[in-house]
Chains A and B, each alone.
Chain A
Amino acid sequence: MTSPVPDAPDAPDTTADGAPAAFPLARSCPFSPPDGYAPMREKGGLTKAVIPSGKEVWLVTGFQDVRTALSHPAAGSDARHPAFPALGDGEQAVAAELRPFIRMDPPEHTRIRRMLVGEFTVKRVRAMRPAVEAICREQADRLLSLPAPADLVGEYANRVSTTVICRLLGVPMEDLEFFRRITSVSGARTSTAEEVGAALSDLFGLIDRLIDEKAQEPGDDLISRLVNGPLARGEITRTSLLSQIGITLNAGHETSRNMIPLAALDLLRHPDQLDLLREDPSLWPGAVDELLRHLSVADVITLRVATGDIPLEGATIPAGDGFIALLAAADHDPRAFPDPGRLDITRAQRNHVAFGYGAHQCVGQNLGRLEIEVALRVLFEKAPGLRLAVPLEDLPLRSTSAIFGLDEVPVSW
C-alpha cells in the first residue's frame, strides 16, 4: 500500500487578486467531493480555473446551475472545439479523432445515441437481472474461495463489471487484464495521446474482428444488432461503429468497477444504513441512488463548450468558453440535498446528477443501477462479516482518472 499522492492541489487558489484556481482538485476522502468545491459553491455563480493544458475554464458547482448548464441547447460536447476543456492531452486528441458519441452534438449525437438507447430501456435491463445475479453469485463465490484478505476491486468488481458489459456487447471475455489495461490507460488524465491511441488500437483490433464475425454469424448481443442493423443499412460507418462500441465497453466497465467497491465501503462505514437494508431489502433501489449521489464518481466527465451564452442563477457562461459542470459539487449542494455529506438511504430525492443531465445523461444508467444493486446485495448476503482489511487511510485514491475510484480494496470476511 502506498500513501495517497494527490496529483493536484486539494483546495482552490484563493489568492486575493482572484487568480484562477488550478483544476482538477483531488479528493482528500474517498467519500466526499474535493474540499475546494464547497467554497466555490457557497460563493455562487461561476469559478474560473486553469486546467493542465493551460486553458481557462469555468467551473459550475450549484445543483440548479449544473442542471441548467447541462440541459441548455448551447452546451456543446464536441471535442474538436478548441475550447473543449479536456483534462488530459490524450483525451482531447483521441476524442476529436475517434468521435465517441459522448463527445458529439446534435443532430449527429442524437442519431448515434438512438442506435443504443433501445438496448438499455428499463424493461430490457430488468430482463437482464437473472443473468447479472448469476454473474455476481459466481464471482462472489470465487472471491470468498480465495485466501483473505483479497482485493475487492480486482477479484470482484472488475470481474463483475467486465463480465456484464462483455456479455451485453457480445465480446468474448478471454482476458480480464486486457480490458483493465485498455481502460486504465485510456481513462487516465496522465496518458499521452500516443499511449491512449496505442491502447485503443488494441481494443479496436478486437472489435474489428468481432464486427466481421457477427456479420457472418449474428448472436443475441448488441454488437450483432448494430452490425446487422445500422451498419448493414449504411446508417453508420464502420469507423464510427468501432468508436461507439469502444466507448460503450469502456464506460460500462470502468464506472461499475469503481462504484461497487466504494459503495461497499460506504455502507460498511454506515452500519446503521446497512442494517436497514438487511431488515428491508426493498430499500435497495433507493440506497443505490443515494450511494450514486454520495459518491458521484463521474464528477468531471461533463466537459462542455458554450456554443452560445448560457444564463445561470448568478452568472452567464459566455459563448465560446469551455466549462465543466461538477457533478459531485451539485450532488453535495445543501440547497438540493439537506445534510449532503450524510449517507441516508431513505432520502426521498432521486434527482441527483451522478449520471449527468441533459441529452448526454448516461445511456447505460439503468444497467449501472442494476449492477451496483445486485453486486452489493450478493456480496453482503454471502459475506455478512465483510470488512476492510487495512486502515482506510492506507487506500491509494485514484484521482487521475476520468472516473474516481480506488485501485485496490483489501477485504476480509
Chain B
Amino acid sequence: MVNPAPGLRLAADADVCAGAGQCVRAAPELFDQDDDGLVVLLAADVPEDSRARALDAVDLCPSGAIALRGHPAPPAPDTGADRLPPGP
C-alpha cells in the first residue's frame, strides 16, 4: 500500500458472497477466493493505480458482498475503467 487513494477502502462479506469470482477477475491484486470459493480481501486500502479496478469489482459483484467504505457513492465505473486482465 504505497499510495492508497484517500478514503477508498474496501470491505468484503463472505457470508453473502455468491462465489462468482467476479472480484478476482476484475482486481486480482485486491481479491482472492478461498478453497470454498468465497471472497478473501487481500487489501482493504486501495492503491491509486487499482482504483478503477476496485470500482469495477464492486460493480461486478452480483451479491453485494463487497462494498466501498468511507467513500461517497462511486461514479458508474463503466466508462474508462481499466480493461479486465485475461480471464481464466
A117-B20, A359-B62 known; 11 new pairs, CB 8 Å cut-off, are: A71-B63, A117-B38, A118-B35, A120-B37, A286-B83, A348-B83, A350-B56, A361-B63, A363-B18, A370-B88, A373-B87
A349 to B22, CA, bound (A): 13
Residue of A nearest to B17 (CB): A117
The answer on a CB contact under 8 Å between B62 and A348 is no
* Residue interface mask B35-55, A partner, CB < 8 A = 1: 111100000000000000000
* Residue interface mask A343-384, B partner, CB < 8 A = 1: 000001111000111111111011101100100000000000
Choose from B18, B33, B60 the contact partner of A350 (Cβ within 8 Å).
B60
From A92-100, A122-130, A393-401, the one touching the partner chain is A122-130
The answer on a CB contact under 8 Å between B19 and A357 is no
Residue of B nearest to A350 (CB): B84
A70 to B63, CA, bound (A): 9
A362 to B63, CA, bound (A): 12
A351 to B77, CA, bound (A): 9
Hey, which chain B residues are within 8 Å of A356, CB to CB?
62
B86 located at the interface, meaning its Cβ lies under 8 Å from any Cβ of chain A in the complex: yes
The answer on a CB contact under 8 Å between B19 and A118 is yes
The answer on a CB contact under 8 Å between A122 and B21 is yes
24 contacts between A and B (CB under 8 A): A71-B62, A71-B63, A117-B36, A118-B19, A118-B36, A119-B37, A120-B19, A122-B28, A122-B33, A122-B87, A129-B88, A282-B86, A286-B84, A288-B87, A349-B81, A351-B56, A357-B62, A359-B16, A359-B62, A360-B18, A363-B19, A366-B87, A367-B88, A370-B87
Q: Using a Cβ–Cβ cut-off of 8 Å, how many residues does chain B contribute to the interface with A?
A: 31
A114 located at the interface, meaning its Cβ lies under 8 Å from any Cβ of chain B in the complex: yes
B: which residues have CB within 8 A of A? 16, 18-22, 24-26, 28, 33, 35-38, 56, 59-60, 62-64, 78-81, 83-88
Hey, which chain B residues are within 8 Å of A125, CB to CB?
88
The answer on a CB contact under 8 Å between A369 and B87 is yes
Residue of A nearest to B63 (CB): A359
Residue of B nearest to A364 (CB): B20
* Residue interface mask A255-295, B partner, CB < 8 A = 1: 00000000000000000000000000010111011000000
Q: Which 9 A-B pairs have the closest CB atoms?
A: A117-B19, A117-B37, A361-B62, A285-B87, A125-B88, A126-B88, A122-B21, A118-B37, A122-B24
- Would A114 and B78 be within 8 Å (CB), given that A350-B56, A350-B84, A361-B63 are in contact? no
Residue of A nearest to B52 (CB): A348
A113 located at the interface, meaning its Cβ lies under 8 Å from any Cβ of chain B in the complex: yes
Q: How near does chain B come to A8, taking the closest CB pair, in angstroms?
A: 29
A: which residues have CB within 8 A of B? 70-71, 113-114, 117-123, 125-126, 128-129, 282, 284-286, 288-289, 336, 348-351, 355-363, 365-367, 369-370, 373
The answer on a CB contact under 8 Å between B88 and A71 is no
Residue of A nearest to B77 (CB): A351
The answer on a CB contact under 8 Å between B60 and A351 is yes
Q: How near does chain A come to B63, taking the closest CB pair, in angstroms?
A: 5
Choose from A71, A117, A126, A282 the contact partner of B64 (Cβ within 8 Å).
A71
Residue of A nearest to B64 (CB): A71
A366 to B81, CA, bound (A): 21
Hey, which chain B residues are within 8 Å of A285, CB to CB?
84-87
A286 to B83, CA, bound (A): 8
Hey, which chain B residues are within 8 Å of A351, CB to CB?
56, 59-60, 78
Hey, which chain A residues are within 8 Å of B38, CB to CB?
114, 117
A383 to B83, CA, bound (A): 29
A40 to B22, CA, bound (A): 30
The answer on a CB contact under 8 Å between B21 and A366 is yes
Hey, which chain A residues are within 8 Å of B84, CB to CB?
285-286, 289, 350
The answer on a CB contact under 8 Å between B62 and A121 is no
Hey, which chain B residues are within 8 Å of A119, CB to CB?
37
The answer on a CB contact under 8 Å between A369 and B63 is no
Hey, which chain A residues are within 8 Å of B19, CB to CB?
113-114, 117-118, 120-121, 363
A367 to B87, CA, bound (A): 10
